[in-house]
Copies of this chain bind each other. A is one copy, B any other.
Amino acid sequence: MSETTSGRTDARRLRGVLAPVLTPFHRDLSPDARRLARHCRWLLAHGCTALAPFGTTSEANSLSVDERQSLLDAILEAGVPADRLLPGTGACSLSDAVRLTTQAVRSGCAGVLMLPPFYYKAVGEDGLFRFFAEVIDRVGDDRLRIYLYHIPPVAQVGFSPKLVERLLRAHPTVVAGMKDSSGDFGNTQAMLEAFAAAGFDLFVGSERFLLAGMRGGGAGCISATANVNAGAIDRLYREWRSPEAEQLQAELNAVRGAVEKVPVIPGLKAVVAHHAADPGWLPVRPPLSELSPAQGEALLADLASLKLVLPELRG
């Protein structure tokens, strides 16, 4: 297992709190690279260890491959360090996944977060295994580190423990970890027990599970809410062994609960828009819709009562 060992001592491995970065759009719904780069820098300065652009929260699947590639180039050119990026590069199409993943690796990104191909449902384990094997083979770069993006409530298609085991056995240095957005800590626990000891880095997909995840040997969290609450999430990440950990977890849950009362993606955009005093953050691409004024006001009032602070976001 020397290949595994070398993978597991990889100094580039990310841990901690990552935000699936919101993607701002201009009024005409074209992506807004300037606001995106500014938000990336703000997140890295305020609690995020690293960033996972082009996730579900980023409306990545509402972007074309060209748009995703241009935005990645733009944030790199704006000085966001590649070794702190874990861009989403999964796609239904093998050719798209290869193209996006190749760009990320050649740009020096720390890794990629890959959805399984999610159009066909009830596909076999063999087909999913072959999809990832083809991506790894076609990208053909030893630096590639793949984090499996398990989000069955949205993608419907997920990663069974057997599929993870098979991928890890075939590609031990490449398959580096998972974001578990199943919403089921039982699944997270099973993945941790099966694979964490071998160096498979498990990120919980919601900070609700951060304390439990860290206690079980997890690597951190990649959570939508990190777009507005990364500082507090990072504090629990760093202090999960402290006596305050349960209290910190409860405070995170309260903020998360407030955000989850509304559709999360337009909700987070409304929070950023408000604290940045910048309505340019509001647009979402269809099929998503902006919050109604009443939803937006209720969310901001809830978060104000929880004393959510987004320092230095304005300007």
Contact = CB atoms under 8 A, between A and B. Distances in A.
Interface stretch (A8-16, A123-131, A235-243): A123-131
A127 to B, nearest CB: 4
A99 B64 contact: yes
Nearest to A131: B286
27 contacts: A29-B134, A56-B119, A56-B120, A61-B117, A63-B93, A64-B65, A64-B93, A64-B95, A65-B65, A67-B93, A93-B285, A94-B285, A94-B286, A118-B119, A119-B155, A121-B153, A121-B156, A123-B288, A123-B289, A124-B287, A126-B289, A127-B288, A128-B286, A128-B287, A130-B289, A131-B287, A157-B287
A91 to B, nearest CB: 8
A64 B95 CA distance: 6
| Size class of the A contact interface (CB-based, 8 Å) | 35 or more
Assembly stoichiometry (copies): 2
A87 interface: no
A121 B153 CA distance: 8
Contacts of A62: 92-94, 117, 119
Contacts of A95: 63-64, 66-67
Interface of A: 29, 56, 61-67, 92-96, 99, 116-121, 123-124, 126-128, 130-131, 134, 153-157, 285-289
A268 B14 CA distance: 45
Contacts of A66: 95
Contact of A121 (B63, B65, B120, B154): B154
A117 B64 contact: no
Contact of A94 (B29, B93, B121, B289): B29
A311 to B, nearest CB: 31
A130 B94 contact: no
Contact of A286 (B56, B127, B288): B127
A288 B95 CA distance: 14
A286 B153 contact: no
For the complex of A and B, 3 pairs with smallest distance between CB atoms = A127-B287, A131-B286, A61-B119
A123 B158 CA distance: 20
